[in-house]
């Protein structure tokens, strides 16, 4: 279970520049609380581990008053599956697929014009190397396979344990 708090400055409380129609400052939050329950299944076989995950992201509506009113940012589902391969005791790689469906937002109970359901499908390729008991790095490359998905996303993480 993951929860997200309504913190930072949301985009609905930042003034809009009357000449450009743009926000006068950058928001640091979304303005909404959310919860994300998920279920993960793992099936280990030597040297492969198969995995699957299903999650539902529920965003709570918020009333911003005035001309904005009640906004529901829309909810989402996320389904993923794949296989992780151990090359040795320090190195592994994985391949998988991730499919996220985002439902459109509503304002005062009506779908906001020009919004639609988005389908974000990506092939996922990952590599990890364990340098020590407290330090490893992860390289992840996601290649979008649906029209709404980003063409490519690359992430490099270095988690540290104390």
Extents of the domains making up the chain: 33-61+69-157
Write phi, then psi, for 60 (nearest 5 degrees). -80, 140
| pLDDT of amino acid 123 | 99
| pLDDT of amino acid 24 | 96
pLDDT, tens digit, for every residue of 111-136?
Answer: 999 999 999 999 999 999 999 988 99
| pLDDT of amino acid 67 | 86
| pLDDT of amino acid 133 | 86
| pLDDT of amino acid 161 | 84
Residue 54 CB-density burial (10 A; 0-12 exposed, 13-18 middle, 19+ buried): middle
Is the distance from CB of 38 to CB of 2 less than 8 angstroms? yes
Question: Which residues of the chain fall below pLDDT 50?
Answer: none
């Amino acid at each position: 279970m993951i929860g997200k708090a309504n913190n930072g400055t949301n985009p609905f409380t930042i003034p809009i520049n009357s000449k450009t129609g743009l926000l006068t400052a950058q928001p640091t939050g979304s303005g909404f609380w959310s919860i994300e329950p998920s279920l993960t299944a793992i099936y280990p076989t030597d040297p492969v581990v198969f995995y699957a995950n299903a999650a539902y992201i529920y965003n709570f509506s918020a009333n911003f008053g005035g001309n904005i009113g009640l906004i529901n940012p829309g909810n989402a589902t996320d389904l993923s599956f794949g296989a992780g391969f151990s090359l040795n005791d320090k190195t592994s790689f994985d391949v998988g697929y991730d499919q996220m469906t985002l439902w459109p937002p509503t304002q005062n109970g009506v779908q906001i014009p020009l919004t639609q359901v988005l389908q974000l499908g990506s092939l996922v390729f990952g590599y990890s190397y364990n340098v020590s008991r407290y330090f490893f790095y992860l390289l992840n490359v996601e290649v979008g396979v649906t029209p709404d998905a980003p063409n490519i996303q690359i992430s490099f993480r270095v988690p540290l344990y104390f």
